[in-house]
Amino acid sequence: MPRGRPRKTQGDILLKSAEMIGWAIGGLEREIVMTRERLSALTAQANALRAKLPGGTRQAASATGISGSEAVGGTGATGARGRRRRTMSPEARRRISEMMTKRWAERRKTTGTNEAKPRKRKRGGISPEGRKRISEMMKKRWAERRKAAK
């Protein structure tokens, strides 16, 4: 009798791998069933909420960009399209513009006039007279130092 672990034959390996694949498929199928149940529950919730909206499910489904078959629970081919942006009529734009113009005019009245205020003078600048005075003082100091060095 040979010592050590028994050698695996090709049949044993295939049997084990087929068994593992079967377990994996079983797990995936259970996940699919659970996901479908969750989807149906969420669809029922969404339909109940849509029914509370004025106009019923047709209007609510069209407002969200979902076709009629999708609102009931089916999946359509157009599920990936986005919502359309609402456009504003020219009259509405004009009314909003006039309102904002009035608001800004009132705000300007309350804050005061729009005149430019005189700018404050920056500190640290030296006038020409001050610069000349400093220059003369430095010349005097250097002259004294030269005299003291001799």
The band of 36, judged by pLDDT with boundaries at 50, 70 and 90, is very high
Does residue 41 fall inside a structural domain? yes
State the sign of the Cα–Cα–Cα–Cα dihedral 85, 76, 58, 40.
negative
- Number of domains making up the chain: 1
Domain presence at residue 100: no
Give residue 68's domain range.
Answer: 13-74
Q: Is residue 121 part of a domain?
A: no
Q: What is the pLDDT of residues 63-122, one digit of tens each?
A: 555 554 444 445 544 555 678 888 999 999 999 999 999 999 999 888 765 566 677 766
Assigned domain for 43 exists = yes
Looking at per-residue confidence, does 75 or 34 come out higher? 34
State how far the Cα of 41 lies from the Cα of 106, in Å rounded to an integer: 54
Contact 50, 61 (CB under 8 A): yes
Contacts of 57 (CB under 8 A, 6+ apart): 47, 50, 51, 71
pTM: 0.30
Residue 110, domain member (yes or no): no
